[in-house]
Amino acid sequence: MTILAKKTLSPLISAKQLTCIREERLLFETLSVDIFAGDIVQIEGANGSGKTSLLRILSGLSQPYEGKVYFQQTNIEDCREQFQQNLLYLGHLAGIKGEMSAEENFSFNTALHGNQNCHHEDYLSCVNLCGFEDSLASHLSAGQHRRIALARLYQSQAAVWILDEPFTAIDKEGVASLEALFVGHAKRGGCVIMTTHQDLMTINSSTIKKVTLDYDYGSMRI
């Protein structure tokens, strides 16, 4: 185990010269970004500008057209298992099964990522799901659905959090406590990479790194 120094010089994740093409449309090219432990990175851009594509490339779900992603200076293709142990990715689909209860969903998702036997009730209460542990997820609202997935953040030991629109369908109070959670995670030496259209309320904007995708893709068809 390598303990991360307070501000390590080498980036936790770095993307080098990424180019992404979707449906014969160039979304971004030669995009390079270094993300260090303690960073909160917000990816901005209009709808369709490639925010989700970038997150999927950073998490290793999609392959970039060109370029590479490095985790602790190793290509993520070469250290996939180690990278995925230290990664928590929540896509815009929550990954929650309607046929299973909130508790079963949470336990499955945490166990799948290597954490057996944690006290699911405590973590579900963190996201205001006290009393809903045994309800089937399909009977819950969209926000509660999302909260089941977000409960994993309170339990996660992963260093890298990649979150696609984490605040969708979450109420104001929930957003505030999530923001506090992100700050705490960054302070502990993790990093948060997310997309959101909302302005972050409680986090000091100077501490957020912003990556803006504003490539003029309309005129750059290939």
Partner 1 sequence: MKNLPYQCNNKELAVEKNNRLPPDTTKLDRIVIIDEQPSYSQAFKLVLTRDLVIALRHKDDFLNPLLFFIIIVTLFPLGVGPDVSILSRIAPGIIWVAALLATLLSLDRLFKSDHLDGSLEQLLLSPQPLFILVLAKITAHWLITGLPLIIIAPLLAVLLHLDERSYSALFLTLLLGTPVLSLLGSIGVALTVGIKKGGVLLSLLVLPLYIPVLIFSTGAIDNAALGLPYSGQLAIIAALFFGSLTLAPFAVAAALKVSTN
111 binds partner 1 (CB under 8 A): yes
Shortest reach from residue 190's CB to partner 1, in Å:
5
Count residues binding partner 1 (CB under 8 A). Answer: 64
174 sits near partner 1 (criterion: CB under 8 A): yes
Task: Say whether residue 104 binds partner 1 (CB under 8 A).
Answer: yes
Q: Which stretch binds partner 1 (CB under 8 A): 24-32, 40-48, 183-191, 206-214?
A: 183-191
β-strand pairing of 25-35 with 13-22: antiparallel
Letters for 190-219 (x = contact with partner 1 by CB under 8 A, - = none) are: x-----------x-----------------
Q: 173 or 216, CB closer to partner 1?
A: 173
| Whole-number Å distance between alpha carbons of 167 and 175 | 6
Asked if 89 interacts with partner 1 (CB under 8 A), we say yes
CA–CA gap between residue 131 and residue 136 (Å, rounded): 12
Distance CA 105, CA 179 (A): 23
Contacts of residue 51, defined as CB under 8 A and 6 or more positions apart, other chains included, come to 43, 44, 45, 164, 195, 213
Nearest to 44 by CA among 220, 222, 205, 158: 205
Closest listed residue to residue 194, CA positions, set 181, 79, 72, 29:
181
Helix (H) or strand (E) run with residue 222 in it: none
From 13-21, 41-49, 129-137, 207-215, span contacting partner 1 (CB under 8 A): 129-137
Footprint of partner 1 (CB under 8 A): 1-4, 37, 59-63, 72, 81-82, 84-87, 89, 91-100, 104, 108-109, 111-114, 116, 119, 121-123, 125-126, 128, 130-131, 136, 154, 157-159, 173-174, 176-177, 180-181, 183-185, 187-190, 202
